[in-house]
Structure 1
Amino acid sequence: MADPLDKATSKAPATLGEGCLSRYDPDDLSAEDGTEFPGAAELWEQVQGDCDDAVGGA
């Protein structure tokens, strides 16, 4: 019998490391992996500002 997982439409990229140190292998990633997120830099700055306010206000 054929492997039922062969019918899957997507596969996760290869990983490096184990457990908490597991991460995607950058050499296995391509432009097809991930998502488009043009506002990421602005969101990161906003979140960092919120964190600084919370720490400074404590």
Structure 2
Amino acid sequence: MENEKRRIDFLASDVRFWWEEAYVYAKEKKIKTQKALLIIAFFSGIVATIIWLINY
């Protein structure tokens, strides 16, 4: 009985697996969003600098 998994162990492992997938997906999405915001901010800064240099 010690080495056998109980029914609740199987159910708990299924829930834990689903939670881990959702958590990893959220982390990847946050990383992609942060990278996109960083790229947009970088290019916005370049455009603002060019406009500022042209006007002065």
- Short-chain TM bin: 0.3 to 0.5
Name the TM-score, length of structure 2 as normaliser.
0.39
Which of 1 and 2 has greater Rg? 2
- Between structures 1 and 2, the one with greater helix share: 2
TM-score w.r.t. length of structure 1: 0.38
The structure whose residues are more often strand, as a share, is: 1
**Higher relative contact order (Cα pairs below 8 Å, separated by 6+ residues):** 1
